Amino acid sequence: MTEEEIYRRAKKKVNAKKGFYIHFGTFCATTLFLFTINFLTSPEFWWFLIPSLGWGIGVVSHYITVFGLSGPSGEDWEDKELEKEMRKIKRQHLDEHDDHDITVPNDELELKEFKKLRDEWDDRDFV
DSSP line for 32-95? HHHHHHHHHH-TTS-TTHHHHHHHHHHHHHHHHHHHTT----STTHHHHHHHHHHHHHHHHHHH
pLDDT in the model for residue 124: 56
In the chain, where the domains are located:
3-121
pLDDT in tens, the chain (127 residues): 788 888 888 898 899 999 999 999 999 999 999 999 999 999 999 999 999 999 999 999 999 988 877 666 555 667 777 888 888 888 888 877 655 555 545 544 566 666 656 655 555 555 5
